[in-house]
Structure formats: structure tokens, C-alpha cells
Chains A and B, each alone.
Chain A
Amino acid sequence: MACCVCRLERQAQMNKAIAIEARNLSFAYQTKINIIKHLNLSLYKGETVVLLGANGGGKTTLGKLLTGILKPSSGELLLFGENLSMLPLFKIGQKLGYSFQNPVQQLFTVSVEEEIAFGLKYRGANAEEISRVTEQLMKLFEIEHLRDAFPLNLSWGEKRRVVLASCLALQPEYLILDEPTTGLDQKRIDILNRVLNNLRQEGVGMLLISHNQSFVRENAQRILRMEKGAIVDDLYL
């Protein structure tokens, strides 16, 4: 009976539109050793997937492949049906939000406010919209008092909140967050849980790479476990 329910749920997932699809995906760095090995994976719109696995198992590499930062050695990657390898990064960035494992790599402006407003500003949003979205996100992540602070001088947790706010400002259709809870205290993790829950209800799909058990329990609808570059478990909850 349980298996039957599982199958039905799986079928329901299959009927959802695919956001990202990997077909026979492999990737090797310069060492020529495959970090990702012949991986097949479908990630659906509106679904929250948590990617688990030991350090060095290929989780971050997979995240970078799915965002087009790394190019696969072989295989195919589709983002909303388009060949991801053919898309320039800015096109990917218009559909997909990505938070690096290390937030420092994503901070490049002179103030927190500018950091959050950056994407909107250069994508042609009007001043009123930029101000509204920026204020809303700064309030949500409790970083209003840091609006004029230089992002690279902030604490790790504050940097993480700024990066998350900058990602969400662009209202992506799909989110990939690499270890989003690192450096956050429980209060801020609870805020992040609420934000992700709201996004889920709005139909935004997400892939969360995390080692935080309570965060995984709170958000996961599907759990993928990765070992040595391959998905060894794919579990729908």
C-alpha cells in the first residue's frame, strides 16, 4: 500500500513541468577524474529538493553545473527546456537564482543596499520598484541597519543574508542555494524557512544543498543523496 502511495506521488511529480534536466551528465576537472558520473536527474517546478552527501561528493560541482558556471564534459543539461550549455550566464541568471557556498564570491558593490538593488537596476526596473523590493528584503532579513555598510566587512552570517536577499530580489523561477544556513543563527534560519515556504507556495522550485538536519526536515519534499559523483538515493517525502 505504502509503495502504491509512493508510486502515485512519484507519478504526480512526474506530471509537473521540469525546470532542470540532466541527461547522462559527466564532469571532470583538469585531473580528468570524473567528479560527476553519468548522472540523470529531473528537477521540477515548485518542488523543493534537498541534496545531501559527504564533503567532496560532488554536490557543489553539481550546483555549479546546473547554473552554467561549469560546463559538462559530456551529457546534456536543460533549463526550462533550453540547452543550458548554449545559454549565456546572464540568461540563466534571469531564470535561476544561485547562492554560492562562499558568500564573499557574490558581493561586489560598495553597500548592502546597492548589492540587493544591483540586478534590478541593470535589468531596467524603475527607481520606485527597486526601492520597494530592496526595503522589503532588507526588513525581511533584518539587515536594514546595515544598508550603508560595505558588504565585504560584514560578518559571515550577515554576508549570507545579503546574498540571499540579492538572489531573491530578482524573483527567480528556480533557486539553487548551496549551504544557505552556514553562519546563520537559529532565528535567521527560521526566517529563511518562512521565506522559502512562501516561495514554495508561489510555485518557485528549489534545490537546497545542506548539512543542517532541521533545515532539511523543515523544507525537503524530495531528498537526493549523492556519493562519489552519483545520485545513490532519490526519496520523495
Chain B
Amino acid sequence: MSRSAKGAALIAALAMAVSVFSQAADETAFTHAERVAVRALAVPPGHTPQEAPDPALADFGQRLFFDPRLSGDGRFSCASCHQPDRAFTDGLALPEAAGRGHRNTPTLINVADNPWFQWDGAADSLWSQMLLVVENPRELANDRLNLAHTLYRNEDLRAAYRRRFGPLPRMSEEPRFPAHGSPQAAPDSLEGRAWRRMAAADQDAVNRVMANLGVALAAWQRRLVRYDSPFDHFAAALADNPDPPPDEAFPAAARRGLKLFIGEAQCTLCHSGPDFSNQAFHNLGVPVTDHRDTGREQGLRRLAASPFNAAGPYAGEESDADRLRFLPPPESLRGAFKTPSLRNVARTAPYFHDGRFATLEAAVRFYLEPPEGETLGQREATLDLIPDLSDRQVADLVAFLKTLDSAPLPEAVTTPPERRSP
């Protein structure tokens, strides 16, 4: 071998070593572009949980949340499905309350500032989404007249309501306020007819009670804020150092998974921002299990029909009614469901709107190997951007997703007030 050839071989070997070293460093060190992308997922510096403006109101909301008297038969409360020790989910594919629900129970952590609520966005405010649950025959299965009567009959509830909102309507005047009734009931049912027979002013008074209960529950849910996951700590370290030191809570696999999440796997197209959700509605081409559930299509129709939407008479001054001017035609979002937050995702199995996937790995693999079957509406072509991933890459993504769990919320906000430790 000539001297020049030996020199070439030596330099080539050196180059290979540099390449291998560079690739090894790539697995842990982050480029400038990657750090920018991670910063977009992190909670902005100085962010603090937004406390409810009225603590007494939030306390009332907390009581209501755990109170089974909100349900039609007195057996279920909001906490029956939104269980605090399961990150406010129930661990079931589909909830079991007054009946079997048809959509997976979403978490309540960090939901306060969401623009839309429920999988189909049928509510445009935190306070109004509660009203959909109370009168859903599969959930709390109550009706608004019975709920107003329940408040009126129970001195503890009546007093708490009065302290914050003033006196309840005189519900004891039976002809004015029948025992049961709701505009949500079938028109020819007893409840439907009873509601229609009421004077408009009395209907309005009962609706106002419903809205006020929603406001109290929303005030409490503003306390359910937590952004302190291992990912958040890693993102903070990454802001100062492109290659933070090893961290047991954020292992090498999670680092690789994060790089995939913000890069090749294209996850941040939809799971963006500090809540890992763009709060939009997407048709993923999920095979249909319930033909009645058309997702955002029916959510838009329910929203437009609701007197409790942001343009309605019960909305507060802070409501953003202007955005309702720009709602799209419902049929354009047939089969689309809201992008769920990935915060606390390891604690909120099963996954997807119908809870069809028991594990995170199965949920990730859906995007790589879409199952065949009848779908509703138009599958979004954005999904075609997602590349094939190796088994190791899938495992890395799952490892990253498991770093999004935050510490449990304080007992003071996750237990019924009467059960709190002194």
C-alpha cells in the first residue's frame, strides 16, 4: 500500500469514528431546531396555575363534583367517571354510570382553558359542558327541573347556592315548576311536555340555576392544573444545555422518543403546544363502532342548538361568541374527534374516543398500520405524512409519552371537602 493510500485509509477510519461519535451524540444532544420545537411544547417560564377568581365558588364546585345528588337516581356523581386517582378518568374503554356511555372518559387535568369540550366539541365553555353530562341518560341521567328541586330541598345545597348566586326560584310552587322536565327530553314524553307547559320566565330561571352550577364546577376545575412532568423538567434543562446530563426520570429512550415526536414521526402536527393538543378535530379514519357517533359533525349541531353556548343568554361577559360566526358546515367534519391532550397519558388508558386501544403502544401503532373497516367522512391526508417506524422507534415514542405524567394533585382539590384530612 502506498503512503498516500495508507494516509487515506487512516483518515477514512478517523472519519468513520467521528461519524459514529456524532451519531451517538445525536441520540442525546439536541440541535437548535429541536430545542426550539421542545420549547413550543414546554410551559412558558413563569407560568403558574390560574387560581379560580372566587375560592368560595370553587369550593362549592368541588362539593358538587363529588355529590351523587346531581344524578337522576342519586347514585352517581361526576367523580364516578372522573376519578381523581386515575387522573380524572375511569380506566374503562367506555364509562359506566346510569348507562354505558359511548365515548371514553377524558381527563379533567389542565382542561380549564380548552376552547372546546367533549370529544365532539359540543360545548364551547367549561361551565356549559357540565350541563351536557347532567342530562345525558347514560351519564347522570337527571333533568334540569329535578336538579333544581334537589338543590331547593337540601338545605346544605340551597344555602351554598344562595351564598354565591342568591336565592333559588321558589321551586315548591309545583304548578310553576313540575317535578321533572327538560327541553332535552323527547317532545312527547312527560318531561318534555312538562317543560313546554312552563312559562318562559320560569324556564329561564331553571336554566339559570343550571348555568350557575356549571360556573361553580368550572371554578373548581380551574384548580386542576399540573405541568410538572419529567418532560417539563427535561425541557427546562434543555433550555440551558443542548445535552442535559442523564436523568433517570427521562431516560435515553425517552430522549430518542422526544426527538421522534418533534421530528420524523410528525406527532406535533396535532399534538402541539404545552397541552400536546392543537385543540382541533381530526378524522383519523378510525373504523366505525357506533354509527350514531359522527363526532364533530354532531358536536357542531349540538353547539349551535344550545342556549348555553357563548352567544346565548347565560354566557358571561368573558365569553368569546365571535368565534361562533365562523363555525364550518357540520358535515365537513363528519367523523372527526378532538385531539386529546397527551399530558398524563400513561395514566389515562384506554385510548381514542371509543377507548379501543388498551395500551400506548397499540395507540401509536394505529398510525403506522391503520386498520381496515368502514369509516365515516373523509380521512385526513395529514396522516400520510407519518413514516413507517421501527419497533425500537415505537418503543422510544412510548418511553417518551410515559414521561408526560405529572405528580398527583394536592388532596385538598381531589377529595370531597368533608373527607379532607385536617
Q: Do A and B bind each other?
A: no
> CB within 8 Å of B: which residues of A?
none
